Structure 1
Amino acid sequence: MEESISKTDVLSKRSKFAYSIGNVLNDITTSMWFSYILLFYNRVVTLTNVSAGYLLLIGQIADALSTIFVALTCDRTRTGLFHHGKRKTWHLIGVICVLISFPFLFNLCIGCQHSKLWVKFIYYAVFIIIYQFGWVCSHVVHLAMINELTHIEGERVALNSYRIAWTFVSNVFLFTMASILLGLSATSDQSSITPADAPLFLKLTFFAVGFGLICMIIFHIGLKESNQTTEEREYHSKLISTSNRKLKQMTWKSFLCEKEFYQCAFIWVCARVVLIVTVAFLPLYIIDTISRLDRIFIGVAPLCACLSGLLTSFSMRAVNERLGRNLTNIIGYGLALVGMILLWFIIDIKSKVEIEIALISTCILLGIGASTTGICSITLASDLIGLNTECGAFVYGVMSFLDKIANGIIIAIVQQFNPCKLSSTQTCASYYRCIVTLIPGGFSMLAILMILSMWKTNLGGNRYEIIQEEQCEMEMKTKVDYNERSPLVD
């Protein structure tokens, strides 16, 4: 049995590399989206805090609804276009949508710069919806391919680790370019962002899209999609069956009836909320709460987090094997909590140099925590799916749906009650201080409690049904005759 699985499931280095960069365009654009969208719409486009929050919420709702549509439709798709594979076809559609929409999100309203607020709102909302649909097509499909490319747990952990590693590589590139552009830009205000910085954000957008496009070309040329037929998938199920057990075929309704599905989804959502809320409000925290640092730190701070996260991702496979996934996940949330505590007290430091050191140290901890919890949450979902790849896109889709809705609502509420204007005030400083510490900290503690509640849970291990002796004989005969019959299927 081991030989039968290992021959097809151990991926080549080329395939691993091609797969690992398949989500880079999504990674780099979504990082820019969450890191700078509120800052750009409020300080450059001069929309109100509430309008900026609702634009982000529209994007999250569009993302969530698209996720369910793509997840269900992709799983039911039989073939791809031009012999490209059904998963990669959906992925390509997503790439095209992202490429044609994202540059408009970080540009001034073309032909409507001086129009009324509602005109600008609709203009950006249209491109946001197109972008989010494309992002979902690529994201959900890329995740679903993990369980189809390999059934070996170690290989899946490795693919997740490489995927997360390239997420951090993308972010390192983005924030390095942001730091360079911010450092080279000539402006009278070195501690804030103004409408005069619009060309800076447009340049950063083209750098991000160009880098992502190169990676997408390599992905589509370098990775061959797994195209198992129905009979081949059934044969694989027989291989992992024992003499009196058979793997159950799952439907999306079957997954919804499992308690573990909701536990994994909750941990997934907590990991995403901790990451997204921190990323979205960290630039505003630096500008309005700390206020004494050069604005280049809105690029340097997340860059430090990405570098630490990148280095952490390389060790995740070994750490998971030594400590176990649950303990590793708890350590990740623990480091995130330490980072939140440091963010709370940074504002009380008097020396500017000490503030810079404290901020960078905090971002390093947050990067390690985000990398750890991100990899563990995705791997939990992968373990939940296990060998039931027939509903892989649905599982990842629902979890993405929940995290998009949760993050969208949280950020919209935060912006609804945001007291900050274009200039920093003491009230504004205290507000962002609470947002970047209390919300992520609370979700980190909830995630730890959920992990403890499912400590001994065997994910996907109870999907076997007992079969009768007559069926056993038929299964054994099927295994023997498979190689002789399989050519006739074609």
Structure 2
Amino acid sequence: MTGGSEEDPFTKPIGRWSVFFYGVGHMLNDITASCWFTYLLLFLTQIGLSPRDAAIVMLSGQVADAFATIFTGELIDRFGHFKIWHAAGSLLVAISFSSVFGGCLPCSILHNDSLTLETFSYSMFAAIFNIGWAATQVSHMAMVNCISLNSTSRVALTSSRNAFTMVANLGLYAIALVVFGVIKAGSKEDTETQYRWIAYSSITIGCCFVVIFLMGTKEPRLRIDLKQTSRARIPWVYWFRKLLYYQVAMVYLLTRLVLNVSQAYLAFFVIDDLQMDQSAKALVPAIIYICSFVVSVLLQEIPWNGRRLKAYYTAGGIIWIFCGAAILLLPRDISSFMYAISVFIGIANALMMVTAISMQSVLVGAEVGGCAFVCGSLSFLDKMSCGLALYVLQSHQSKSNKVMTGTWPYKVLVLVLIFSSRNHSFLTMLAVLC
């Protein structure tokens, strides 16, 4: 039997149910990550940690996540078993996430409420949570390349995953809107109760979708079918010799930087800078994710090739430039325009995220023996850059302030986003020429 006949079944488009079952597999990660980036810094500063201590907690999780992605990717390439890694990572996420937002467990055991112990406790559980998160992310992302070799099906799988990411985010903000409305934060204990309920609800919903994924998705067999070929396993140094690897890495890094860091400071911005109602810290992100969900669903219906990926990505970057400029110039007395800006941010986020992740599949191609390492190494860059960016921005806040005040951190961030988006367009145009 020839290699071509072996690959034929995998070059055909896959069914919609397969796309659906795959898409829900990252829901637990997505809903907890949304809570992590949107509310962690806000939660920690509200319960009394300094901005620098809150930044340390965030950074510890990001660094643990970064290194875990590298090791997980290498181990998956060596031993396979995507679903086992996914299930194990999901279990670790479910167990540890409640401790991130559930109060300081060592403080309760030792009857010690020192800020040093609180910082250590939250940093430890943040690291554990992110290790589990990394195992789930890498295994789920790498599966795309082993489920199908068809480029349109790979983008459909990525679009489905991104669509359910939006569903997860909307679910979180719906939960947050209810919890913030029912439980009023009059004290530190009330604040901890608020976020504990948000965490427990998120874990319950996410675990239900993990079960659906594990029951509906088959373990990819493409690696086994190709194990006799030269593509069975690819050394990690192979990727470092390819120019395309560095191009895709830069695009993916800047995209994640735009999405994650902007999300982390969005709640601060709408409350402290624009002085909008408290409900805005749930409504503004909800609008962003509704628009991203709609665009992600529409992107599944498009036949894809490399040139179209670059064109849509560049369009998303240009939209983000205009959104960033609008945020910089938005005066407080017309803060309601933030809702309109949120619509375009959601569109840009979907265009950039779906195409940036799909570029990884273009990089991997049929060389699936190293797909997990590619996903892990690019995620390493993403986690380290986001962690360091958040640490630098947060650690420069005044130590006398319990919460972030002032406009300069978010405006500096937006300038970074505009610069990044310009580089996105430059890189994609360069890739077209190449």
- Identify the TM-score tier after normalising by the shorter chain: over 0.9
Provide, for residues 285-339 of structure 1, a one-character-per-residue CA deviation record: whole Å limited to 9, x for no partner: 1121112x21111111100000000001012245574971111101101111121
Partner of 1:129: 127
Quick check: 1:290–1:429 contact (8 Å CA) kept in 2?
no
Alpha-carbon distance change, 435 to 107 in structure 1, aligned in 2, over 3 angstroms: farther
Corresponding letter in the other structure for 1:149:
I
Partner of 1:455: 432
Alpha-carbon distance change, 424 to 69 in structure 1, aligned in 2, over 3 angstroms: closer
Greater Cα radius of gyration, structure 1 or 2: 1
Partner of 1:311: 294
How far 1:280 moved relative to its partner? 0.4
Quick check: 1:319–1:328 contact (8 Å CA) kept in 2?
no
Partner of 1:39: 42
Partner of 1:220: 214
In the alignment, the residues of structure 1 paired with residue 400 and residue 57 of structure 2 have an alpha-carbon distance, to the nearest angstrom, of 18
Asked whether 1:211 is paired with 2:209, we answer no
Partner of 2:85: 90
Count of matched residue pairs: 427
Provide, for residues 362-402 of structure 1, a one-character-per-residue CA deviation record: whole Å limited to 9, x for no partner: 11111111111111110001110010000000001000000
In the alignment, the residues of structure 1 paired with residue 402 and residue 231 of structure 2 have an alpha-carbon distance, to the nearest angstrom, of 61
Partner of 1:364: 343
Partner of 1:285: 269
Structure-to-structure mapping, 1:96-115, within 5 angstroms:
96-110=91-105, 112=107, 115=113
> 404, 410, 426: which one pairs with 2:389?
410
> 226, 229, 252: which one pairs with 1:233?
226
* TM-score between the two structures when normalised by the length of structure 2: 0.92
Asked whether 1:440 is paired with 2:407, we answer no
Quick check: 1:418–1:431 contact (8 Å CA) kept in 2?
no
**Structure 2: 5+ residue stretches without partners:** none
Quick check: 1:338–1:365 contact (8 Å CA) kept in 2?
no
Quick check: 1:51–1:121 contact (8 Å CA) kept in 2?
yes
1:324 is paired with a residue whose SS is helix
In the alignment, the residues of structure 2 paired with residue 178 and residue 327 of structure 1 have an alpha-carbon distance, to the nearest angstrom, of 36
Partner of 2:163: 165
Quick check: 1:179–1:297 contact (8 Å CA) kept in 2?
no
Identity of aligned residues (%): 25
Structure-to-structure mapping, 1:280-429, within 5 angstroms:
280-291=264-275, 293-318=276-301, 321=304, 324-346=308-330, 348-350=331-333, 354-356=334-336, 358-419=337-398, 421-422=400-401, 428-429=405-406
Alpha-carbon distance change, 104 to 400 in structure 1, aligned in 2, over 3 angstroms: same
Quick check: 2:32–2:202 contact (8 Å CA) kept in 1?
yes
Asked whether 1:22 is paired with 2:25, we answer yes
Alpha-carbon distance change, 229 to 110 in structure 1, aligned in 2, over 3 angstroms: closer
Quick check: 1:343–1:436 contact (8 Å CA) kept in 2?
no
Corresponding letter in the other structure for 1:411:
L
1:23 is paired with a residue whose SS is helix
In the alignment, the residues of structure 2 paired with residue 48 and residue 258 of structure 1 have an alpha-carbon distance, to the nearest angstrom, of 44
Quick check: 2:51–2:402 contact (8 Å CA) kept in 1?
no
Corresponding letter in the other structure for 2:226:
R
Corresponding letter in the other structure for 1:384:
L
Alpha-carbon distance change, 69 to 436 in structure 1, aligned in 2, over 3 angstroms: same
How far 1:153 moved relative to its partner? 0.5
2:113 is paired with a residue whose SS is coil
Alpha-carbon distance change, 416 to 16 in structure 1, aligned in 2, over 3 angstroms: same
Alpha-carbon distance change, 384 to 127 in structure 1, aligned in 2, over 3 angstroms: same
Provide, for residues 444-486 of structure 1, a one-character-per-residue CA deviation record: whole Å limited to 9, x for no partner: 11221111111144xxxxxxxxxxxxxxxxxxxxxxxxxxxxx
Quick check: 1:35–1:283 contact (8 Å CA) kept in 2?
yes
Alpha-carbon distance change, 421 to 36 in structure 1, aligned in 2, over 3 angstroms: farther
Partner of 1:149: 147
Alpha-carbon distance change, 194 to 338 in structure 1, aligned in 2, over 3 angstroms: farther
Quick check: 1:330–1:448 contact (8 Å CA) kept in 2?
yes
Instruction: Give the RMSD, CA atoms, in angstroms.
Output: 2.3
1:22 is paired with a residue whose SS is helix
Alpha-carbon distance change, 185 to 65 in structure 1, aligned in 2, over 3 angstroms: same
Quick check: 2:30–2:168 contact (8 Å CA) kept in 1?
yes
More displaced stretch, 271-280 vs 118-127: 118-127
Corresponding letter in the other structure for 1:74:
I
Partner of 2:54: 52
Corresponding letter in the other structure for 1:46:
G
* TM-score between the two structures when normalised by the length of structure 1: 0.82
Corresponding letter in the other structure for 2:430:
S
How far 1:40 moved relative to its partner? 0.4
In the alignment, the residues of structure 2 paired with residue 226 and residue 7 of structure 1 have an alpha-carbon distance, to the nearest angstrom, of 13
> 3, 11, 14: which one pairs with 2:14?
11
Quick check: 1:284–1:432 contact (8 Å CA) kept in 2?
no
